A and B are shown apart, each in its own frame.
Chain A
């Protein structure tokens, strides 16, 4: 074949200016014929291809536009003028159109910022790629769960870090790090509560937290060293804090010397600290160092550069075998753990992956699923917003047929009309983008609060957002402009002007779209509802104790017998008051920490939560005794007695627990502690967990001291009781700060992250409803415009308004029904497998829920379409029919 390639020819013919085309095409073909003679067809075709392609250069293509431009530059001012007039004339539509898009953009930008922030965690550490967190991966021997047989935890044995550093060649540095709990500290005259964490010297060698002052080589090398962050330094010290002393109450007041100040941990750091002191200050440090069954300390290692990570992982199991083999064998025999399961393994997570490794609990850990779900939602919302923009633009532009007719008859050609409509649409899209960025700025503080983040905007980020926004709005503007403009510009001017138009707007794309939007919105509505119900459930469920009107006051005296006496004194001072029902002491209030002891009984590793309480504890919280009796301070032997919960009795396999002893301290002499009572199971931890074995004790020496006072109040006059309690506290404990919280609030605070997700989902639902409402509004508009004459005729024949209204709305109800049929199973699957699955105790998704959400969605839909329905139904037939 001696034919030049057709497609290049076509491409060029389209792009090349008409007046040059003949000459160019001729020359090309002539060259082609020459080439065929000289080189043969194949090469000639190739030459033709490249030669033709090289005509696509500015020198040629711009000649195209030059001709158009000369016309259009003059017209631009006119386009601007008509665009402005049209926008002003149809304020509502213009507003809705711009608003929908900007809402979509604002939401997507927020999600973009969120995902960006999520992925920025811990990236600032220079040696981050070599730093690993060691984790426990263990078979849940005492409570086997076939669906989830392993537990993962970042809390390791206290002795592990030193052993790893000494025994493994790959490990360059190793540090233990506990974020810490609030402790009473004294700085000069000030007495305050601050979080005190525990770390080792290597912490400062491994992590890239900037040292503000002090020599980091020396940090925490002495037991009395303390390192503080800038915030603490600025808050409590006027001069240089280095060398100053602070008193920290850890089992009695101890003096620490500030040896260093380091930067505040950034918002996107997984490790956070206020005051850091050496690990050696932990209570029972020496005992815990020997005990390889006590998991309490997160451990980080930094490998030497170039060391073999795979070998390191193997060596880690060597450490396990060396230190834990015997107890593991015992456990395996006792629990009949099958040979093929991994009983215990050390695992690792790279520092950079900690934040999104939600399988291991950590201070700020988050589930990457959230990012994926939100990202998907953002893309969906922006797509829907864009498509709505197009369909709304279509509705409004149909009203401009006459203008198109006039323009055409004056001599506008089709490309000019396309240009005009695209121009208008791009301008509006850009305005929407700016509006969207404004919305985003307004919403950001709330969004930060919802997501518990501290996203800040800087110039670079804003430029980046404007850049992305511009591209999106340009694309949307062109797409949105092109369909209406192609559609409108195809009108025959004579017909358009005569007014005899029976053109129908094609809404074939719009219907499936509205269906999609409705489905999305319904899924979101159902999800938000389920979340709301679950939150309602967890805050109102009977937890087995009464959390209402219980004031929690920390004694602020640390792990000390002083503290026990303070509880006693407070009780004596307060109990006479009729507004106060009960005053009790406990070692850790709910949600403010817990201790769990591991012990071996009959070669069997067990563990149980432990609380040190006093005889008033059960009364103050209204915990029910199932068998046996409460503690009695008059009975001396009660210090060697325990009250257990049903779960512990079951775990031990006791039929009559009151005859049993629990040797939890592994004494070689004697049977251990006598069981004097069994309480009904109550939720001492959150509803995400099942109720595990637990016991209560009044043995201060072995179990611990009372650190919190629980005060059960009568509901009458809260503020008066509170001020009385405060003044009593100040009298009894003059040198400590008075702090308090309400138990029910503490308990609810456990679900803060779930509450957060509920809020985010509510926000997303709100956006989705808004946007799909706009889409529906557009479709209803198209529908009403298309049926103007039909309605007129019906009215002439006497149809009542209500009939017409129903006629117009029927299809939307059908759409809502269909989309709900899609949404319900999807939402149910999604919620059960994702959000609700975190809860051991959860609500059922029942039919009432679907009915409520369905009617909610339907009423939103009907409300949206009512505007057009009413407008069309009330329009006078004399006007609508006059057209023909």
Chain B
């Protein structure tokens, strides 16, 4: 697992998939990023990143049921795999480890 590195955007999207749990699909992620972080992201970028994460085995996707509001089209839902969770965790751990090594931050007393 150690060999997998994620870009900033990939990490963001992976995290968002985790945040949204059962409701993680393209448009929902765009909206969630906007409301949580006030950051505008493009739908196509989100899609491409999701597919890439899927290629890496960090998320998996499945089609939802038929809907009314989007021309009857089904949504492609994403879900973090256990590998994905591990990567998120390891990122978190690595970050905390490095975090502690920054003297200024220590002095402030985090």
CB <8 Å contact, A27 and B63: no
Give Cα A59–Cα B74 distance, bound, in whole angstroms. Answer: 22
When distances are taken between beta carbons in the complex, the residues of chain A under 8 Å from B73 are: 22-23, 25-26, 29
**Pick from A23, A33, A55: contact of B44, CB under 8 Å:** A55
When distances are taken between beta carbons in the complex, the residues of chain B under 8 Å from A23 are: 25-26, 47, 61, 63, 73-76
Give Cα A23–Cα B51 distance, bound, in whole angstroms. Answer: 12
Give Cα A29–Cα B63 distance, bound, in whole angstroms. Answer: 17
Residue interface bits A1-43, CB-to-B below 8 A is 1, else 0: 0000000000000000000101111111111011000000000
CB <8 Å contact, A55 and B47: yes
Name A22's closest neighbour in chain B (CB-CB): B73
CB of A879 within 8 Å of the partner chain: no
Give Cα A714–Cα B26 distance, bound, in whole angstroms. Answer: 102
CB <8 Å contact, A26 and B70: yes
When distances are taken between beta carbons in the complex, the residues of chain B under 8 Å from A244 are: none
When distances are taken between beta carbons in the complex, the residues of chain A under 8 Å from B31 are: 34
**Pick from A20, A26, A54, A57: contact of B71, CB under 8 Å:** A26
When distances are taken between beta carbons in the complex, the residues of chain A under 8 Å from B75 are: 23, 26-27
Name B76's closest neighbour in chain A (CB-CB): A23
CB <8 Å contact, B26 and A59: no
Name A60's closest neighbour in chain B (CB-CB): B48
Give Cα A54–Cα B30 distance, bound, in whole angstroms. Answer: 15
Question: Total A-B pairs in contact (CB under 8 Å)?
Answer: 67
Give Cα A25–Cα B47 distance, bound, in whole angstroms. Answer: 11
Within 8 A of A (CB), among B57-96: 61, 63, 67, 69-71, 73-76
Write the nearest CB–CB distance from A282 to chain B, whole angstroms: 80
Given the interface pairs A22-B73, A23-B26, the reply to whether A28 lies near B51 with Cβ below 8 Å is: no
When distances are taken between beta carbons in the complex, the residues of chain A under 8 Å from B27 are: 27, 30-31
CB <8 Å contact, B48 and A26: no
Name B48's closest neighbour in chain A (CB-CB): A59
Within 8 A of B (CB), among A53-71: 54-55, 57, 59-60, 63
CB of B43 within 8 Å of the partner chain: yes
CB of B56 within 8 Å of the partner chain: no
CB of B42 within 8 Å of the partner chain: yes
Chain A CB within 10 Å — which of B26, B30, B44 has the most? B44
CB of A448 within 8 Å of the partner chain: no
CB of A632 within 8 Å of the partner chain: no
When distances are taken between beta carbons in the complex, the residues of chain B under 8 Å from A20 are: 47, 51, 76
When distances are taken between beta carbons in the complex, the residues of chain A under 8 Å from B44 are: 51, 54-55, 57, 60
Give Cα A829–Cα B13 distance, bound, in whole angstroms. Answer: 73
Given the interface pairs A22-B76, A23-B26, A54-B42, the reply to whether A29 lies near B70 with Cβ below 8 Å is: yes
CB of B21 within 8 Å of the partner chain: no
Give Cα A24–Cα B43 distance, bound, in whole angstroms. Answer: 9
When distances are taken between beta carbons in the complex, the residues of chain A under 8 Å from B67 are: 26
When distances are taken between beta carbons in the complex, the residues of chain B under 8 Å from A57 are: 44, 48
Write the nearest CB–CB distance from A649 to chain B, whole angstroms: 92
CB <8 Å contact, B43 and A31: yes
Give Cα A29–Cα B52 distance, bound, in whole angstroms. Answer: 23
CB <8 Å contact, A30 and B42: no
CB <8 Å contact, A27 and B26: yes
When distances are taken between beta carbons in the complex, the residues of chain A under 8 Å from B42 are: 51, 54
Residue interface bits B22-51, CB-to-A below 8 A is 1, else 0: 000111001100000000001111011001
Name A56's closest neighbour in chain B (CB-CB): B44
CB <8 Å contact, B74 and A22: yes
Give Cα A833–Cα B31 distance, bound, in whole angstroms. Answer: 74
CB <8 Å contact, B47 and A30: no
A27-B47, A54-B43 known, 19 other contacts, Cβ within 8 Å = A20-B47, A20-B51, A22-B73, A22-B74, A23-B25, A23-B61, A23-B73, A23-B74, A23-B75, A23-B76, A25-B73, A27-B25, A29-B70, A31-B30, A51-B43, A54-B42, A54-B44, A54-B45, A55-B44
A residues in contact (CB < 8 Å) with B: 20, 22-31, 33-34, 51, 54-55, 57, 59-60, 63
Nearest first, the 6 A-B pairs at minimum CB distance are: A23-B76, A59-B48, A26-B73, A27-B26, A54-B44, A27-B27
B residues in contact (CB < 8 Å) with A: 25-27, 30-31, 42-45, 47-48, 51-52, 61, 63, 67, 69-71, 73-76
List, sorted by A's number, 23 A–B pairs whose CB atoms are closer than 8 Å.
Answer: A20-B47, A20-B76, A22-B73, A22-B74, A23-B61, A23-B73, A25-B73, A26-B67, A26-B71, A26-B73, A26-B74, A26-B75, A26-B76, A27-B26, A28-B43, A29-B71, A29-B73, A31-B43, A51-B44, A54-B45, A55-B47, A59-B48, A59-B51
